[in-house]
Every structure is written in C-alpha cells, then in structure tokens.
Chains A and B, each alone.
Chain A
Amino acid sequence: MSHDLHDLQWSSFGVDAAAVRFVSAMDGAEVADDAEGDEAEVAEGAWDDAPVVAVARLSPDDLVATERLHARLAEALGLPSYYGANWDALLDVLTDDAVLGDRRAFVLILDRGEEAFARAPHAVGDLIAIVLDADRRWRSHGRADMVQLLIVWRRADRRCIALEGTDATG
C-alpha cells in the first residue's frame, strides 16, 4: 500500500491551512545535505533564523501508542504538570499563552510520515485536526504560525509542501 500524498483524504482534515506542512527530507538534521534544490536551502535558512520554539519530535511509534505520545509531548514541549494526556488536553495547552511562555511557537515534527500514516491513521488525523484547531484559535487573536506540524516525508515529491514561504523569521 502506497502512501503518497494524493492517496490521502486531505479534505477531511481541511489541510489547506499553513499550520501543517510536508517537509521533503530524509532526516531533519540532514535536510541541507541530502535534499536538492531550492526547498532544501529554504529549509536550512528557516531553521537557522528560527527564533526559540518549543519543538517535539515524534516517531510513528509515538503515534501508535497514545500514552507514549502524550508523555513525549509533555516532556518535549514542557507541558504543565496538570496536563491530562488526552486530545482535549493537548488542544487546551497548545492554545495557552502561559504554557507557551517566552517561546515563539510550538513546532511538532512527525518523522517518517508514510509509516505513521500507515500504522496509526486515526492518531495522525487527530493530531492534524488538533494542530489546525489550535492554529485557528491563535489566528482568531491575530497571531499566526503559533502551532506548526511538520510531517517529514521520505520521498521527494512535487506535491510536498516544503518550508518555502513560511514566516519562521517573522
């Protein structure tokens, strides 16, 4: 079963918002070295210039076991001790200025996107939906790109939406 972008029902997630991007890369740290073309340079520049953000890097294994996912998110994002480790709790903390603190944004990176979609399609769908909800709420207060989900796609694909045009510097 292939998991190209066009196989997925994006419309059901409403993934037209800028909050979810598909990064064409083998491994985040190797973006600049491995990938070719403008996308890679944009990606590299974006990371270099990025202000301090709260980053959580997730693997397909994390998406399969949601207790593990929430524990990982709590640790990586420095979530408060009351964090309820459920989807409703995640949306709550991702839209809380006090949880964000002096960091500029929450950035979630989902590695090996194809594998995550194949093994845990519902969890990935929930995660995308929550990020989009959170993004919408911040935007309603006039603040864009406060929650971002980067899904790292192993295969270079013209349909992949790269970091091009993001305003990580802004």
Chain B
Amino acid sequence: MSKRFRLVVLVVLLIGVWAATRKSNVSEGAPPRETPTSSAPREDAAGQEGADGQPGSAKPSTVDKDYPGLAQVPAGEEREAVLATLLRIERGGPFPYPNNDGVVFENRERRLPPKPRGFYREYTVPTPGSRDRGARRVVTGGQARYYSRNHYKSFETLTP
C-alpha cells in the first residue's frame, strides 16, 4: 500500500520536474515572442527616459499624476530640484528665500493665462553651486503649476 503510494508520488514528482524544465526552456528561448503586447509600451517608456539621459530615475506614480508636465523637465538634477520645490510648496515651506518665495507673480508679460492680480505666486528653484537665486522658478495659480528655467521668459505647464 505504502510502496504503491510512493511510486505514485515519485511519478507525480517526475512529471512535475519535467514540466518545470520544459516551461523554463520555453520562456528562456523566446521571451520577446512570448509577451509582445506587454513589453512594447515598456520599451517605449524606457526609450524616452533614455533620450533624457537618465534611465530609471524612479519617482512615485502620484508625482506623475500630480505633475504630468514634469516629464518635460530634463531628468536628473533639474527635475529633482523642481520636484523638491513642488513638495515644499505642498508642505507650505520652509522656503530657502523667505523674502522672495511665495510672493505674488504679477504675470505682467502675460506669458501665463490672464488672471486677477494676486492669483499667481512664485517660488525659487535653487540652482546648485550658484551664489545667487538663479533663473529657475515655479509659479502656482490655484491647482496649476508652472516652471520657468529662464527667468520668466517661457514656462512649462507641470499641472494644468
């Protein structure tokens, strides 16, 4: 009784081992053909990151959702600095330049959508190694977030 039972167990085990090795052979042999649909978008995303020069700079998915325009900011130091400023704004500070951070942005050149006076506020994005405040700013208006790397000459929309 027990001998027969052992034989069954052995046979089942052998079948299991055979199936496992067969499966691993298949998946090793043909990974690209096996998952063409799921790997395609990943390759695209990796390609975009690679073009920015910083593959694999992982950031929480909530950031992608909250600041979709952040992808337009070059990855690496610049994107991290902008993100750090955005998070400081969400937390309400403390800010590196208390006299200038959080002041009203007048939008006198009208490079952002026209709004009543006092709608926009601006915050410095510190430039590492710079002794002055540098050219980089985040401007907020309601839920919207904008970024200028060239002292208000042009803006990227981080959050519409």
Contacts and interface: CB of A to CB of B under 8 A. Distances in A.
Interface in B103-144: 103, 105-109, 111, 122, 131-135, 137
Contacts of B132: 80, 82, 96, 98-99
Given A86-B152, A86-B153, A89-B151, A95 B108 contact: no
B107 A88 contact: yes
B133 A84 contact: no
B99 interface: yes
Contacts, number: 55
A157 interface: no
B4 to A, nearest CB: 86
Nearest to A90: B108
Interface in A56-91: 80, 82-89, 91
A12 to B, nearest CB: 14
A95 B100 contact: yes
Contacts of A82: 132, 134-135, 150-151
Interface of B is mostly: loop
Contacts of B111: 88
Given A84-B150, A84-B152, A97 B108 contact: no
Interface in B87-113: 99-100, 103, 105-109, 111
B133 A91 contact: no
- Best-buried of A80, A95, A126, A129 by chain B (most CB within 10 Å): A80
Interface of A: 80, 82-89, 91-92, 95-99, 126, 129-130, 133, 137, 141
- Rank and list the top 7 A-B pairs by shortest CB-CB distance, nearest first: A84-B151, A82-B135, A88-B152, A87-B108, A89-B151, A84-B153, A80-B132
16 contacts: A82-B132, A82-B150, A84-B150, A84-B152, A84-B153, A85-B153, A86-B109, A87-B109, A88-B109, A89-B152, A92-B122, A96-B132, A97-B99, A126-B108, A130-B108, A137-B103
